[in-house]
Structure 1
Amino acid sequence: MAKNENKNAEPQTVDLNQQRKVRREKLANLQAEGRDPFQITKYDQTHHTDECKTLYQAHEDELLAGRTVPSTEGLDEAEARMVMNNDYNERRAIMDAQPIHVSIAGRMMFKRVMGKASFCNIQDLKGKIQVYVARDAIGEDAYADFKKSDIGDIYGIKGFLFRTKTGEVSVHAEELTLLTKSLQVLPEKFHGLQDTDTRYRQRYVDLIMNEDSKNVFIKRSQIIKEIRNFLAGRDFIEVETPTLVSNAGGAAARPFETHYNALDEDVKLRISLELYLKRLIVGGLERVYEIGRVYRNEGVDTRHNPEFTLMELYQAYTDYYGMMELTESMFRYLAETVCGSSVVSYNGIAIDFGKPFRRLTMNEAIKEYAGVDFDAVTTDEEAKALADQHHIEFEARHTKGDIVNLFFEEYCEKNLIQPTFIMDHPLSISPLTKKKPTDPEKVERFELFINTWEMCNAYSELNDPIDQRERFAQQDRNAEAGDEEAQHTDEDFLNALEIGMPPTGGIGYGIDRLVMLLTDSAAIRDVLLFPTMKSIDK
């Protein structure tokens, strides 16, 4: 091999099939020699890459305290280089006298062979670190094996930490162990994995090649962890409820259907968590929540995926105002804890969670942004006439409440950038919500909007079983009229309400949309590890 040959990337002119063939031949040779890397079952990893750098820096600060960089003022280039080399050697001698030994493991992402010594970069969960590989340190046979290694191979490396002349904390390898032979070729390093479709289909490659993508999913895990911490501080109990249900209720959405062979029954995948969690409130579990997958047979766009993560929580003896306080406090806590500030940037826009969230009724918002006062509208016919005047399409079955919602979607949502609670929705679009005592056409409900997106939906929960039965009956009639998203009567849930449910506040949060906001991600697929994709024809 020629001296100084750059092995960072395999020649792009070489056919990929040939590269894969060569990798398999290398594996076969190792196996024939009794050194099959796939027979290794474990490796003693003592440190991650970020820990190595932090540990070395602290050790260096301690041992080199008081030393200053010598001045090269007035020296020519050769003299200055000699002074700096001497200073580096003195510092290195002090550090090497008390070495920090580490054992790291990760994927090789870069390799440069230079005769008797080489460099490579090892990437693990926490980042990357440079490794210095010298023939005299690891032995001729091991060095020859290393020269045959490929980008993507997974190594275990034992050695000690040092700082190169260029200032980079590195590992001086003393022992290399090939843990996994990579048989596929990674995308070329400097261009990475840029094709969006491939990134979503082969997320494992995306996580290897794109650090930003990996960090999104690490932060997603942190967000969910901090949600649990916040709710634990308020004495909530985390529970799990069924995924396969006979009656998919709790939301307006088309369900997926399947068949339960053992029971010989058709069942549906849940579209919500609501009705089972309310049963638990009836049972005396006063504060409950669930974070789980739900499934809605609907379209796919930048903010919707048919399979997504929903969190719902229910708290006895409070109402939708209690849910507002909890939501505002939790979102502010998440911004400060996960993002480090109450002000979060999304697509260049500063979202301020530190200020009190604005509160508007739905009719107030429409009056502000569309100039229409629906509090002065008394009939469905008047509402439809206004829709015609404003060129808003509606269906014959729609009521005033539906028209109000269509006006809000058309005129208001696009203006709601900073956190805003939209309150007091029409009764006809809220079948599970308590009526407002002062206005029976409206319900005690709110949605939180941020960056024009609906972030959550909350109610003062309906606990009157007689009223609830009437609302279910209306939903059944809507279904008969062609509404595929209408809910159906759930007799067991009604039985639970007849047992008695205390006054309760409830809320549902789209976790994926929240992660999008806090990670500045443009599309929901960017925050789902394995988003729904159309199958590739084979």
Structure 2
Amino acid sequence: MKNEQTELRIQKLDTLTSKGIRTYPDRFSTNYDLFEASQLDDGTSGVRVAGRIIGIRNFKKLIFITISNIQGSLQLLLKKDEIGEVLFNEFCDFLDIGDFLGVEGNMYTTKTNEKTLRIENYVFLGKALRTLPEKWHGLSNVELRYRQRYLDLIMTEDTQSRLLARTKMARAIRRFFEDEGFFEVETPVLQHTSSGALAKPFRTYHHSLETELNLRIAPETYLKRLIVGGFTKVFEFAKCFRNEGMSPQHLQEFTMVEGYAAYWNFEDTMKLMREMVLFILGQTFDTTTITIQGQKIDFSLEWDIISFRDLIFKNTGIDIDLYPDVKGLYKETQRKNIELDHSDIESLGRGNFIDLLYKKMCRPQLVKPTFLIQHPIDLSPLARANEDNPTLTDRFQLVVNGVEVINAYSELVNPIEQRKRLEAQALLKNNGDLEAMEMDEDYLTAMEYGMPPISGWGFGVERLLMVLTDSHTIKDCVLFPLTKKL
């Protein structure tokens, strides 16, 4: 840790301590946050604020100081003839950029029209032993930005605003569902099976129970158990884990919001999700218009609705209904010179193959908010079959800027049909499809006690934030993304 700058700062710390100055005090009473103080009228007195020093401009008898936190910054003025020679010199001699400062004073506006607090008194609140980096804004080592996110938050305004928006967004989501009469619940992270989604789980071992367990890939089947138990509207902020490949749109650890409503179908949920997105935009960004890839998109306008079959046909010329088995579909993609990236493509079931084709050829073309409906039943082992066409499901996805933002269904509540589908998934898994779903006898038992009609949805908080902030990668939308161990 120690270098020349650090040694100098430690010496300053020791000197302050020898003078009887508390170098790490336990508290400082503020009456305004920094962003609030910056809105105060000139002449407001008795203003007490605190923050980290991120800028010092010394003009001998007066010093302009900038302090900041995640929500904003404030300029301070320290004048020798107003604060006194002792405190003025102590600041010059012992305080550095990165240190923490508590101040009291009154507000005024400078000649350059910047709100400023004239310091009447200040308190030293903590010494930074390391110097903040000067070239952080030009840092090309993205991995270091993720590894030292705390520095990224101090130094980069885009990071500050994006991750602050994440917190505001989570608050808005909770408020929306609570206002709609939903109960927030919590379900297990450690599970015996990896049901609820088509994904490869992380595995762990419980020593006392002497059993293998999975970290959950989705909270779905436990939330549905709650519907069996009498809840009618539930949602959860659920930490989920999927042992999948790295990509700009995927995290191995992410936060999913998932919920269910008894007596609803997917069309009810489609309406709810549109209202939710508009509420989130208003609460988080004070607008319904977002700029994506340089294009302004007003989410308050009508959203497109297109079927899975029509979308694939539009972009590839392939009618998936003409190919009931995966081998025929694979041959047709080869005939059309469509190359799909997968390590063992011939092991995939028809549903996962169609999903791969869609993600390669269709999804990137969807920029404006679009509801994708009528997914093949092979792709939706937990969704209700459409009554008019049982090869399709009553399901929708919201896609924006080539990203699947929300996934929703009319849920399958028939335990006999559910068992057949899970048996088919288990067969695929035994044949090498690692993302196929496992058999879940405990969930089937719950279903056999009876379920009402149900509609459910799920979406990733990070992925939604990625879309709404037009971010290049989902790692920019999580506070501490997973990085390689040094």
Q: TM-score, normalised by structure 1?
A: 0.85
Indicate which of 326, 334, 344 corresponds to 2:280. 334
> Whole-Å Cα distance in 1 between the matches of residues 144 and 327 of structure 2?
51
Query: Which has the larger Rg?
Result: 1
- Percent of counterpart pairs with the same letter? 36
Q: Report the counterpart of residue 235 of structure 1 in structure 2.
A: 181
Q: Report the counterpart of residue 73 of structure 2 in structure 1.
A: 128
1:457 matched to 2:457: no
Comparing 207-216 with 160-169, greater Cα deviation is found at 160-169
Q: Report the counterpart of residue 315 of structure 2 in structure 1.
A: 369
> Whole-Å Cα distance in 2 between the matches of residues 489 and 45 of structure 1?
57
Check whether the contact 2:215–2:240 (CA below 8 A) recurs between aligned residues: yes
1:41 matched to 2:26: yes
1:346 matched to 2:292: yes
Q: Report the counterpart of residue 248 of structure 1 in structure 2.
A: 194
Q: CA deviation at 1:399?
A: 5.3
1:412 matched to 2:362: yes
Q: Secondary structure at the match of 2:3?
A: helix
1:205 matched to 2:175: no
1:513 matched to 2:448: no
Q: CA deviation at 1:439?
A: 1.6
Q: CA deviation at 1:120?
A: 1.4
Q: Secondary structure at the match of 2:130?
A: coil
Classify 1:503/1:51 alpha carbon distance in 2 versus 1 (closer, same or farther; 3 Å): same
Q: Report the counterpart of residue 449 of structure 2 in structure 1.
A: 499
The one-letter amino acid of 2:265's match is D
> Whole-Å Cα distance in 1 between the matches of residues 323 and 52 of structure 2?
66
Q: Secondary structure at the match of 1:43?
A: coil
Q: Secondary structure at the match of 1:436?
A: coil
Indicate which of 21, 37, 55 corresponds to 1:52. 37
Q: How does 1:475-494 map to 2 (within 5 A)?
A: 475-494=425-444
1:112 matched to 2:52: no
Indicate which of 180, 183, 188 corresponds to 2:129. 183
Classify 1:171/1:477 alpha carbon distance in 2 versus 1 (closer, same or farther; 3 Å): same
Classify 1:448/1:141 alpha carbon distance in 2 versus 1 (closer, same or farther; 3 Å): same
Q: Report the counterpart of residue 297 of structure 1 in structure 2.
A: 243
Q: Secondary structure at the match of 1:441?
A: coil
Comparing 165-174 with 399-408, greater Cα deviation is found at 399-408
Gapped runs of 5+ residues in structure 1?
1-14, 61-94
Check whether the contact 1:193–1:209 (CA below 8 A) recurs between aligned residues: no
The one-letter amino acid of 1:276's match is Y
Check whether the contact 1:193–1:206 (CA below 8 A) recurs between aligned residues: no
The one-letter amino acid of 2:167's match is S
Q: Secondary structure at the match of 1:205?
A: helix
**How well do the aligned residues superpose, as a CA RMSD in angstroms?**
2.1
Q: Secondary structure at the match of 1:221?
A: helix
Check whether the contact 1:468–1:494 (CA below 8 A) recurs between aligned residues: yes
> Whole-Å Cα distance in 2 between the matches of residues 400 and 130 of structure 1?
61
Indicate which of 89, 109, 112 corresponds to 1:163. 109
Q: Report the counterpart of residue 77 of structure 1 in structure 2.
A: none
Q: CA deviation at 1:398?
A: 4.7
> Whole-Å Cα distance in 2 between the matches of residues 262 and 18 of structure 1?
51
Comparing 150-159 with 23-32, greater Cα deviation is found at 23-32
Q: CA deviation at 1:401?
A: 4.3
Indicate which of 221, 236, 255 corresponds to 2:167. 221
Please list the CA deviations of residues 42-70 of structure 1 after superposition, one character each: whole Å capped at 9, or x if unmatched: 101111233223222xxx5xxxxxxxxxx
The one-letter amino acid of 2:393's match is V
The one-letter amino acid of 1:432's match is L
Q: Secondary structure at the match of 1:534?
A: coil
Q: Report the counterpart of residue 153 of structure 1 in structure 2.
A: 99
Check whether the contact 1:187–1:193 (CA below 8 A) recurs between aligned residues: no
> Whole-Å Cα distance in 2 between the matches of residues 457 and 532 of structure 1?
25
Q: Report the counterpart of residue 32 of structure 1 in structure 2.
A: 18
Q: CA deviation at 1:178?
A: 0.7
Comparing 149-158 with 15-24, greater Cα deviation is found at 15-24
Check whether the contact 1:423–1:445 (CA below 8 A) recurs between aligned residues: yes
> Whole-Å Cα distance in 2 between the matches of residues 170 and 465 of structure 1?
67
Q: CA deviation at 1:25?
A: 0.9
Classify 1:438/1:24 alpha carbon distance in 2 versus 1 (closer, same or farther; 3 Å): same
Please list the CA deviations of residues 454-478 of structure 1 after superposition, one character each: whole Å capped at 9, or x if unmatched: 1121111111111111111112211
The one-letter amino acid of 1:21's match is E
Q: Report the counterpart of residue 322 of structure 1 in structure 2.
A: 268
Q: CA deviation at 1:26?
A: 0.9
Check whether the contact 1:433–1:445 (CA below 8 A) recurs between aligned residues: yes
Q: Report the counterpart of residue 429 of structure 1 in structure 2.
A: 379
> Whole-Å Cα distance in 2 between the matches of residues 410 and 530 of structure 1?
29
Q: CA deviation at 1:374?
A: 2.9
Check whether the contact 2:71–2:164 (CA below 8 A) recurs between aligned residues: no
Indicate which of 17, 31, 39 corresponds to 2:3. 17
Q: Secondary structure at the match of 1:432?
A: coil
Gapped runs of 5+ residues in structure 2?
none
1:137 matched to 2:82: yes
Comparing 276-285 with 103-112, greater Cα deviation is found at 103-112
> Whole-Å Cα distance in 2 between the matches of residues 378 and 36 of structure 1?
76
Q: CA deviation at 1:181?
A: 0.6
Q: Report the counterpart of residue 392 of structure 2 in structure 1.
A: 442
1:529 matched to 2:474: no
The one-letter amino acid of 1:492's match is D
Check whether the contact 1:105–1:156 (CA below 8 A) recurs between aligned residues: yes
Q: TM-score, normalised by structure 2?
A: 0.94
The one-letter amino acid of 1:408's match is Y
Q: Secondary structure at the match of 1:369?
A: helix
**Count of paired positions:** 481
Check whether the contact 1:192–1:209 (CA below 8 A) recurs between aligned residues: no
Please list the CA deviations of residues 345-381 of structure 1 after superposition, one character each: whole Å capped at 9, or x if unmatched: 1231223312222111111112222222233445555
Check whether the contact 2:168–2:283 (CA below 8 A) recurs between aligned residues: no
Check whether the contact 2:370–2:399 (CA below 8 A) recurs between aligned residues: yes
Q: Secondary structure at the match of 2:187?
A: coil
Check whether the contact 2:383–2:394 (CA below 8 A) recurs between aligned residues: yes
Classify 1:402/1:29 alpha carbon distance in 2 versus 1 (closer, same or farther; 3 Å): closer
The one-letter amino acid of 1:304's match is H
> Whole-Å Cα distance in 1 between the matches of residues 200 and 167 of structure 2?
29
Q: CA deviation at 1:397?
A: 4.8
Please list the CA deviations of residues 69-103 of structure 1 after superposition, one character each: whole Å capped at 9, or x if unmatched: xxxxxxxxxxxxxxxxxxxxxxxxxx5xxx52211
1:265 matched to 2:220: no
